[in-house]
């Protein structure tokens, strides 16, 4: 049994190793995330039929260990040592990709998804805990370290997406073995670079520490339950959860539609458009990068506007953009050929609508921050709901999108998106009206 000691002098070697290892780990994870969907497409075309529902199930199980395991593994890392849980994340991820390299068995591939989810659940809380401990005596260093952690996470993900598609195009299933080597690099950085300063506790304190840990976990769960049931959170929770459900549908189902055998839905232009392409992985990676750039640009732009507009107004504009985006994509999906002269205008309209949709994210996060003003003692727990809703929405959306994709391919995905969008719009409209009533009431009271 070991416990943390105070770190008055930061260990720059451990900080550097944790950041560098995180970057490499995120590259490996993003490569796996990119290739597994392309692998499912290959299996569907060449090995055995693999429906969108089955793919959704395999992709969704990733979020189970992430949602359940992160708080538990984070608590364990505080008590048993963070270094182990950090390098354990590289080990489990490496095992996952090696299994994928050796088999097309659907059950085994589900195991790989569980292992990659466990990798993420083990890495993030332990790494953030280590960075927090090592920078406890230097607030300026802490700010830089946390900023670099975000940069390593985002940068590694972008690099992984870009090279993952190319690796698949060149090496196919053998690319999983190459990705195993990337995981081993992150393992080496973590194992040899991190020096965790700990001390042994006396045995007589061991049971007390375990009891304290169990009590702390129960208290945390009780607190999250109380926060979730708070009226101010419940009013917004359905909309935020549904937004993330839609995000899960698109992130985890659309690639399978683009690379599917075209003969299944020949009347849809976008369905299977890359099914016969030898460069499908590279093209998808470049398209994702371009769309992500537009989306991030929209997030930054809307972030500047949020100080001048009501959060619910921006979210309603984003919901309207969602309907416009679906309309543009539906029209695009039912063009006769790629040579149709209307296609450039439809693509431009879809990208403009995506810019509007991007306002949903910063407005939602800012709204949650506003909610904390009513429960100042629960700020951390309320903001933690952001991550919980994100993971839960991804899980539900990935499962929900599969049957609709099997039913009507891309049209089915657009249909369920519109249905969920209507629910979001109605929920946000109720919030918007409640805010306006609160403002009018406050103005009347101030006049008196």
pTM attached to this predicted model: 0.84
In a domain, 109, yes or no: yes
Domain shared by 63 and 140, yes or no: yes
Write the CB contacts of 275 (distance below 8 Å, at least 6 apart in sequence): 41, 45, 258, 259, 260, 261, 262
Encode burial over 282-305: b for 16+ CB neighbours within 10 A, e otherwise: bbbbeebeeeeeebeebbeebbee
Domain shared by 319 and 362, yes or no: yes
Domain shared by 442 and 334, yes or no: yes
pLDDT score recorded for residue 227 = 63
Domain shared by 57 and 196, yes or no: yes
Helices of type H across 200-310:
206-229, 231-234, 237-258, 280-305
In a domain, 218, yes or no: no
In a domain, 224, yes or no: no
> Domain boundary at 181, 201, 221, which?
201
Give the Cα separation of 51 and 280 in Å (integer). Answer: 19
Domain shared by 157 and 93, yes or no: yes
Helix (H) or strand (E) holding 59: helix 52-60
264 three-class SS? helix
Q: What is the number of structural domains in the chain?
A: 2
In a domain, 221, yes or no: no
Domain shared by 189 and 119, yes or no: yes
Domain shared by 279 and 342, yes or no: yes
In a domain, 225, yes or no: no
Structural domain boundaries, residue 287: 232-448
Write the CB contacts of 54 (distance below 8 Å, at least 6 apart in sequence): 106, 402
Q: What share of the chain is helix, strand, coil (3-state, %, to 5)?
A: 85, 0, 15
pLDDT score recorded for residue 381 = 56
pLDDT score recorded for residue 364 = 84
pLDDT score recorded for residue 214 = 58
| CATH number of the CATH domain containing 92 | 1.20.1250.20
Around 268, how many Cα atoms within 13 Å sit in the side-chain half-sphere?
Answer: 24
Contact 246, 417 (CB under 8 A): yes
Domain shared by 185 and 266, yes or no: no
CA 77: distance to chain centroid? 22
Domain shared by 151 and 243, yes or no: no
The pLDDT profile of the chain, 448 residues, written as one tens digit per residue, is 444 444 567 888 999 999 999 999 999 999 999 999 999 999 999 999 999 999 999 999 999 887 887 767 777 777 778 889 899 999 999 999 999 999 999 999 999 999 999 998 888 888 888 888 888 777 778 778 887 887 888 789 889 988 999 999 999 999 999 999 999 999 999 999 998 765 444 344 444 544 555 565 566 666 666 666 767 677 888 898 999 999 999 999 999 999 999 999 999 999 999 998 999 999 999 998 899 889 888 888 888 887 788 889 999 999 999 999 999 999 999 999 999 999 999 999 999 999 999 999 888 877 876 776 566 555 555 655 666 788 889 999 999 999 999 999 999 999 999 999 999 999 999 988 887 887 777 667 666 6
In a domain, 41, yes or no: yes
In a domain, 140, yes or no: yes
Domain shared by 285 and 174, yes or no: no
pLDDT score recorded for residue 144 = 82
Domain shared by 92 and 186, yes or no: yes
Domain shared by 157 and 286, yes or no: no
């Amino acid at each position: 049994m070991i416990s943390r000691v105070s770190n008055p002098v930061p260990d720059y070697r451990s900080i550097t190793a944790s950041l560098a290892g995180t970057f490499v780990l995120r590259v490996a994870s993003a490569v796996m995330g990119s290739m597994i969907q392309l692998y499912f497409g290959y299996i569907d075309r060449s090995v055995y039929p693999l429906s969108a529902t089955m793919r959704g199930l395999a992709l969704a199980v990733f979020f189970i260990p992430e949602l359940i395991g992160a708080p538990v593994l984070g608590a364990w890392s505080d008590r048993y040592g963070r270094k182990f849980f950090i390098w354990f994340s590289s080990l489990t991820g490496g095992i996952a990709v090696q299994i994928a390299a050796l088999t097309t068995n659907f059950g085994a591939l589900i195991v790989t998804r569980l292992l990659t989810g466990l990798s993420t659940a083990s890495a993030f809380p332990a790494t953030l805990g280590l960075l927090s401990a090592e920078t406890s005596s230097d607030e300026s260093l802490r700010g830089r370290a946390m900023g670099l952690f975000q940069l390593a996470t985002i940068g590694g993900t972008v690099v992984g997406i870009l090279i993952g598609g190319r690796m698949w195009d060149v090496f196919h299933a053998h690319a999983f073995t190459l990705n195993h080597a990337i995981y081993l690099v992150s393992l080496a950085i973590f194992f040899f670079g991190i020096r965790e300063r700990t001390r042994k506790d006396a045995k007589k304190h061991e049971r007390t520490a375990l009891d304290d840990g169990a009590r702390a976990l129960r208290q945390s769960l009780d607190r999250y339950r109380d926060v979730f049931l708070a009226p101010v959170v419940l009013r917004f929770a359905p909309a935020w959860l549904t937004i993330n459900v839609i995000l899960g549908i698109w992130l985890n189902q659309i690639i399978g539609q683009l690379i599917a055998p075209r003969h299944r839905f020949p009347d849809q232009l976008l369905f299977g458009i890359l099914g016969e392409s030898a460069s499908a992985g590279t093209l998808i990676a470049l398209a994702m990068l371009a769309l992500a750039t537009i989306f991030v640009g929209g997030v930054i732009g809307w972030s500047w506007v949020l100080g001048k507009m009501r959060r619910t107004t921006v979210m309603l504009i984003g919901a309207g953009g969602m309907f416009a985006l679906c309309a543009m994509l539906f029209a695009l999906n039912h063009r006769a050929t790629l040579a149709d002269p209307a296609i450039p205008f439809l693509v431009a309209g879809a990208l403009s609508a995506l810019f509007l949709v991007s306002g949903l994210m910063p407005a939602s996060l800012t709204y949650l921050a506003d909610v904390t003003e009513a429960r100042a003692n629960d700020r951390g727990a309320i903001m933690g709901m952001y991550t919980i809703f994100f993971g839960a929405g991804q899980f539900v959306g990935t499962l929900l999108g599969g049957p609709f994709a099997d039913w009507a391919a891309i049209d089915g995905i657009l249909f369920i998106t519109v249905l969920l969008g209507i629910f979001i719009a109605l929920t946000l409209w109720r919030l918007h009206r409640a805010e306006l009533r609160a403002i009018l009431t406050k103005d009347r009271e101030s006049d008196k």
